[in-house]
Amino acid sequence: MTIRTHPTARPRLRTIAALLLALLPLTSSVRTLHGRTSVDSGGSLGRPLPPRSAADERAAVRRQLASLGRGTYIGEMLAERDSALARWPSRPNDPLVVWIQPNTDIEGWNDGYVKEVQSAFEEWDALRLPVRFSFTTDSSEADIHVTFIDHFEEEISGRTKWARDDNWWITDANIVLAVYHREGSMLDNESMHAMSLHEIGHLLGLDHTVDSTSIMASKVRVRTLSRADSATVRLLYTLPPGGVR
């Protein structure tokens, strides 16, 4: 059906059309049917931005620490390590492979220790850091070895040793856990879990804190990760390794 309009009605239609266009919301779009619109954009090549200097990088890290460091103990770590941080390179799709010693001839040993150590790795892994963990029963395939001894001569129940390169990237690490305290008492499963959490924190690059409510206190009094533990390791893994001064 064709609708014809009288010539005198056209000004009125134009007025109505203008009003309708004015009433369109800002988010509306108008499309032209059976048409094509080409938009050309041009640009000219300028000088590339100069690379940031090492001093600029460190200044950026200091700003990030100032804005995000509250609620963490990363400042204590910097004081302990002469203003330097160490961590593993990001490898979210290539987990660190962990081997946990499956048995020993230490008196009183129980299989529950292995489960507690693995559970501690999984608790850190639940934070979904750029470094993840998987497990193997073949020690030759492992990046990280966890072994057990009867006791340490020092007043400690765990020890982590890691190596780093010149750029402060951690390259390898191993954990040793004691079955007995130095004075002779045996660690129960809950204590083994807590000590494993503590040593894995060191493995990830964390240091001690004076906060006794954190798993990274030098004398471990809690049995799970604190908010400060989680916040500190998450911040650490957003920063480049090395000095920040």
Q: b or e along 123-134 (b: 16 or more beta carbons within 10 Å of the residue's beta carbon)?
A: bbbebebebbbe
pLDDT digits (tens, 9 = 90+) for 177-200: 999 999 999 999 999 999 999 999
| 8 Å CB contact between 222 and 215 | yes
- Which residue, 239, 159, 245, is CA-closest to 200? 159
End-to-end Cα separation, the chain, in angstroms:
80
- Would you state the pLDDT for residue 232? 95
pLDDT digits (tens, 9 = 90+) for 195-233: 999 999 999 999 999 999 999 999 999 999 999 999 999
CATH homologous superfamily for 87-228?
Answer: Collagenase (Catalytic Domain) (3.40.390.10)
Query: In the numeric block, which tokens belong to residue 211?
Result: 């906060």
Query: In the numeric block, which tokens belong to residue 203?
Result: 């493995």
Query: In the numeric block, which tokens belong to residue 155?
Result: 């007043």
What are the sequence ranges of the domains in the chain? 87-228
- Would you state the pLDDT for residue 15? 43
